[in-house]
Amino acid sequence: MAEVLLENVSRTFGGFTAVDDVDLRVAAGEFVTLLGPSGCGKTTTLRMVAGLEETTGGRISIGRRVVSEPARNIHLAPDRRQLGMVFQSYAIWPHMRVFDNVAYPLQVRRRPAAEIRERVERALRLVEMERFADRPAPALSGGQQQRVAIARAMVFEPEVLLLDEPLSNLDARLRTQMGDEFRSLQKRLGITTLYVTHDQDEAMALSDRIVVMRGGRILQIGAPTEIYQRPNSEAVASFLGAPNLLDATVTGIEATPSDPSRFTVQGDGWQGVACGNQPFACGQSVRVLARPEDLRIGPIASDADATWRGEVIASVFRGARRSLRLRTSAGELHFEVPALTEARVGDMMQIEAARSSLWAVAPG
């Protein structure tokens, strides 16, 4: 399997910069996801790797081969890049059998029948669909259809698989199931994968690393836990999950440096200890990220990093959990607590944050 390397890659359309100076290395066998809101440049980036879109700056390499570099007039055609592609719009064809769906890319290239048969069978075996070769495509479940689409992408034994929102047409349950299935297939085959989605849950569940993009630029690259727990900016913090962001001032810095650093912070009517990996100074304003699932209500625990009070203004039972909204001196906060937590609208509650759960970022 090959690595994919993007160096200072840009794409402009007229005066508009859709992808701005992107640097990214996808290691061989790695699953990397481009995540960001609609219009942030995910598809354009993927299409440049595929060769479907020309780059206007920088260099893209697949394995040891430079496939795009405008400064040297290099732009390899898509079919010379050893890639497999699965796009949302590349659904499988309902009027064909499974075999013909997978054989199609080989047939249009007029490969000999014996080679077609052998390659299709191998691709179907990879996704454990060889028994379904003669089925009409509509007789398959959504998950099976997805596997056929992947088999078709794999029929040329690509070095790299590119997927653009391949699950976004499906309902939530199927999306989760097929995402999990695809992830285990990708791990088993060890195929280098660049995946695009605007769905943060999907990105976190599937990826080795996530690239958070906004406005054509990369905001942060990291493992899902890193992106979620240690965002480098307010923009990344607020893009993942639905966090509470509290205004506070740094009042002290823990004497012995640790990773991440710990600070005492003072907010409006509350104080606590927050972690962070930026070099904050005393007196500096910060935004403190408090995840709804890390906030608890009830008695004060001796090891709590922050405590304050609030009034319950909304309480919604959701089966496994309960969503609460509390009015506090630091503004309205939302909580995700165990469903059986006793909390009625109007109750005054003591609030605490789980130890080391508060995370400080620079405002903005």
Contacts with ligand ADP, residue ranges (CB under 6 A): 13, 18, 36, 38-44
> Closest separation between CB of residue 38 and ligand ADP, Å?
4
> Closest separation between CB of residue 344 and ligand ADP, Å?
43
Q: Count of residues binding Mg ion (CB under 5 A)?
A: 1
For residues 38 and 302, which CB has a smaller minimum distance to ligand ADP in the complex? 38
Please check whether residue 74 is in contact with residue 67, taking contact to mean a CB–CB distance below 8 angstroms: yes
> Closest separation between CB of residue 166 and ligand ADP, Å?
13
> Closest separation between CB of residue 43 and ligand ADP, Å?
3
Interface with Mg ion, residue 33, by CB under 5 A: no
* Closest alpha carbon to 336 in 326, 328, 346: 326
> Closest separation between CB of residue 86 and ligand ADP, Å?
15
* Closest alpha carbon to 280 in 306, 254, 243, 256: 254
Interface with Mg ion, residue 45, by CB under 5 A: no
Binding window for Mg ion (CB under 5 A); candidates: 35-43, 113-121, 184-192, 335-343: 35-43
For residues 9 and 116, which CB has a smaller minimum distance to Mg ion in the complex? 9
Q: Which residue type does 82 have?
A: Q
Interface with Mg ion, residue 197, by CB under 5 A: no
**Which regions of 78-188 does DSSP assign to beta strands (E)?**
83-87, 160-164
Q: b/e string for 253-277 if b means 16 or more Cβ within 10 A?
A: eeeeeeebbbbbbebeebebbbbbe
For residues 8 and 285, which CB has a smaller minimum distance to ligand ADP in the complex? 8
Interface with Mg ion, residue 55, by CB under 5 A: no
Using CB distances below 5 to 8 A depending on partner kind, what does residue 286 bind out of ligand ADP, Mg ion, none?
none
Q: What share of the chain is helix, strand, coil (3-state, %, to 5)?
A: 25, 40, 35
Interface with Mg ion, residue 101, by CB under 5 A: no
Using CB distances below 5 to 8 A depending on partner kind, what does residue 13 bind out of ligand ADP, Mg ion, none?
ligand ADP
Using CB distances below 5 to 8 A depending on partner kind, what does residue 44 bind out of Mg ion, ligand ADP, none?
ligand ADP
Cβ atoms < 10 Å from Cβ of 301: 13
Using CB distances below 5 to 8 A depending on partner kind, what does residue 40 bind out of ligand ADP, Mg ion, none?
ligand ADP
Checking DSSP bridges between strand 192-197 and strand 31-35, what pairing results, if any? parallel
* Closest alpha carbon to 236 in 248, 224, 228, 244: 228
Q: How far apart are CA 192 and CA 1, in angstroms?
A: 6
> Closest separation between CB of residue 59 and ligand ADP, Å?
19
| CA 173-96-192 angle, 5° bins | 55
Interface with Mg ion, residue 357, by CB under 5 A: no
Q: How far apart are CA 306 and CA 31, in angstroms?
A: 37
Q: How far apart are CA 282 and CA 272, in angstroms?
A: 14
Using CB distances below 5 to 8 A depending on partner kind, what does residue 62 bind out of Mg ion, ligand ADP, none?
none
Positions that interact with Mg ion (CB under 5 A): 43
